[in-house]
Amino acid sequence: MGLGYWENGFRHVTNSRRPITKADDLVGLKLRVIQSPLFLDTFSALGANATPMPFTELYSAMEQAAVDGQENPAATILSSKFYEVQKHMVLSRHMYSTWALLMSKKTWDGLSAQEQKIVQDAAREATVYERKTIRAFGDKALGELKKVGMQVTELPPAEQAKMRAKLQPVLAKYAKEFGEDTTGELNAELAKVRGTAK
């Protein structure tokens, strides 16, 4: 039973080799990615050498230069101390991380209507709190990463657009898998926010 979506924030790329100032700077970098076809396809489309690896192995892999870098939200980069083994961070915003707040359907079905309402109300309240908290922590983490010496670059809007263009085949592939109608609605909303709606 879905109760809400919690946030982990935008994901950004770090690496030990060079600053990323344009989309093509990702080409050739060996980047650790989540062990998921979506992440592999995303970074392969961007020209990186996408390397699936468990998170628990990532710090030492970067320390030993087995990979050039990785991608995660700022809060994770800070809390995992990746700044100790990574010099460069680009605010690539290539993906937005969410977590689904779920409850077992069997457990949900065993609750009374009143109990279900209590759980739903609590989930809504917790979702608002979680989003507020993680956004504040993400902003603070970015400031802390700069303080400890990470060189943080911002991708200009034209370069973000180039990244999105490179990722169109990946979006098309996963739209079929996840549902083209839902994907279409999501992209229409994003276009409105970006001011690019047709």
195 Cβ contact partners less than 8 Å away, ≥ 6 residues apart:
none
By the 10 Å C-beta count (0-12 exposed, 13-18 middle, 19+ buried), 181 is classed as exposed
All domains of the chain, ordered by start, with CATH?
A: 2-150 (3.40.190.170)
pLDDT the model gives residue 179: 86
pLDDT the model gives residue 192: 84
Strands 69-72, 2-15: pairing is antiparallel
pTM (2 decimals)?
0.87
What is the sign of the dihedral through the CA atoms of 129, 134, 137 and 138?
A: negative
One pLDDT digit (tens) per residue for the chain, 198 residues: 999 999 998 999 999 999 999 999 999 999 999 999 999 999 999 999 999 999 999 999 999 999 999 999 999 999 999 999 999 999 999 998 899 999 999 999 999 999 999 999 999 999 999 999 999 999 999 999 999 999 999 999 999 999 999 999 999 999 888 888 888 888 788 788 877 766
- Helix, strand or coil, per DSSP, at residue 177: helix
pLDDT the model gives residue 184: 84
